[in-house]
Structure 1
Amino acid sequence: MTQGSRLYFAVTVLMCAFVSINGVGLNDLLERASQLSDKLHSLSTSLTNDLDSHFPPVGRVMMPRPSMCHTSSLQIPNDKDQALKIPEDELLSLARSLLLAWSDPLALLSSEASSLAHPERNTIDSKTKELQDNINSLGAGLEHVFQKMGSSSDNLSSLPFYTSSLGQDKTSRLVNFHFLLSCFRRDSHKIDSFLKVLRCRAAKKRPEMC
């Protein structure tokens, strides 16, 4: 079994774990969510490596700055110590807001992947569709976590994505695809970190153990 196949199998198992959750405790839900978020980040890293294998040098020059990511306006903790100081319901809202913000961008990436000017486009196309499916599964799982936590507020930040095209020429499309993916990879790491802090708190571990 290849590395990609193993990753796909592991993520599929985790997705199925969210299907039947009646009676599942908060700790177990957060454990499943953090495992799935970890797989999402691993998959986005694998995709980035695929793109980097044949990425034109001019693409590095054309690449927008990280501050141009559509989620950059969201105020989030910079590190684990800051995250540990944020109330659980706010931390969960941040993770859910980031997930929601990637619904449209990932749909765009999924629609564009198969026509990229890249020798690994078939692999990229397959993994991008996995990302889209898996983030939907994680989003549904976090809805159950939200219900289990019994929060009285549901403050999700709106992070609209206005781009409907990656560009007209093949280089621009490849560069913008890579840029969006790099933004997602950064955000998937944040989501993973937030969920691991929530899991740690639910298990009542000492902060230094998180």
Structure 2
Amino acid sequence: MDRMHMTVMQQCVWVLLLWPNIFAVGTPIDCREDPANLSRCPTISQEKLLDRVIHHAELIYRVSEESCSLFEEMFIPFPLRLQSNQGGYACITKALLIPSSKSEIQQISDKWLLHSVLMLVQSWIEPLVYLQMTLERYDHAPDMLLNKTKWVSEKLISLEQGVVVLIKKMLDEGTLATTLTEQALLQYDVQPEMLESVMRDYTLLSCFKKDAHKMEAFLKLLKCRQTDKYNCA
């Protein structure tokens, strides 16, 4: 009974923490009710849709940052925290043709800004589903971490939907498929030793946090170009 009460209390705390965000992102870019022709989102103006997509990306980055910090505190010894991206722990989106330096980002077109965001979003949908499943097998994973991961996974799909509609509105074209290799996704079927598994999950969260920040930055740069094209350093 005590365990049940603690779980309910944790869930209540989680709802209260997300209360402003639930109403902020509950309906803005979720077009999944009509996936065949996206009839709902095209009624939103391009400017308003871009603002909502940016807000969505901001929230995803914020929660991903919180999730990574919580996982780190719970499961990663301090000496290992700097090793997550060394050796064999490479980010799964490393193979994508995403601009990384400031000069590259400034030079790419609006089209490639949007397609870069879409590639990042689509590349993370399946790995985050994997992460949800593997975190549920942890003996002491707090409900807050599980809830945050689930929330981000769901909102990432909504963000994908919004970016797809934004591409159609701004560029009047279809979308590009991601170049993430099948081998990169199949790596999650391997069952490693416990420490390796924990470090791999930590790397996954760390890499997603970085990519979520890129999504937010690319979208904000796009917004800047729409309003002040020559002053977006």
Please say whether Structure 1 and Structure 2 have the same fold, judged by a TM-score greater than 0.5.
Answer: yes
CA RMSD of aligned residues (A): 2.6
Amino acid at match of 1:158: T
Contact 1:80 1:193 in 2 (8 A): no
Within the candidate set 83, 87, 90, 2:109 is matched to: 87
Amino acid at match of 1:97: M
Does residue 78 of the first structure (1) align with residue 100 of the second (2)? yes
Give 1:193 deviation, angstroms: 0.7
For 1:1-80, list aligned pairs within 5 A: 5-7=16-18, 9-11=20-22, 13-19=24-30, 20-54=40-74, 55-57=76-78, 59-60=80-81, 63-65=84-86, 68-80=90-102
TM-score (norm 2): 0.78
Amino acid at match of 2:105: A
Give 1:73 deviation, angstroms: 1.8
Q: Which residue is 1:208 aligned to?
A: 231
Contact 2:128 2:149 in 1 (8 A): yes
For 1:176-187, list aligned pairs within 5 A: 176-187=200-211
The gaps in structure 2 that reach 5 residues or longer are 1-11, 31-39
Within the candidate set 143, 152, 176, 1:131 is matched to: 152
The gaps in structure 1 that reach 5 residues or longer are none
Contact 1:95 1:194 in 2 (8 A): yes
Structure 1 distance, partners of 2:22, 2:191, is 31
Q: Deviations over 1:59-89 (max 9, x none)?
A: 4476342971111122333355532321111
- Residues paired across the two proteins, number: 208
Identity level (%): 21
Inter-CA distance 166–15: structure 2 relative to 1 (3 Å threshold): farther
> Which range is displaced more, 97-106 or 13-22?
13-22
Structure 2 distance, partners of 1:77, 1:11, is 32
Q: Which has the larger radius of gyration?
A: 2
Q: Deviations over 1:104-131 (max 9, x none)?
A: 11010011112224x4432211111011
Q: Which residue is 1:169 aligned to?
A: 193
Give 1:149 deviation, angstroms: 1.1
Inter-CA distance 166–58: structure 2 relative to 1 (3 Å threshold): farther
Within the candidate set 127, 136, 160, 1:105 is matched to: 127
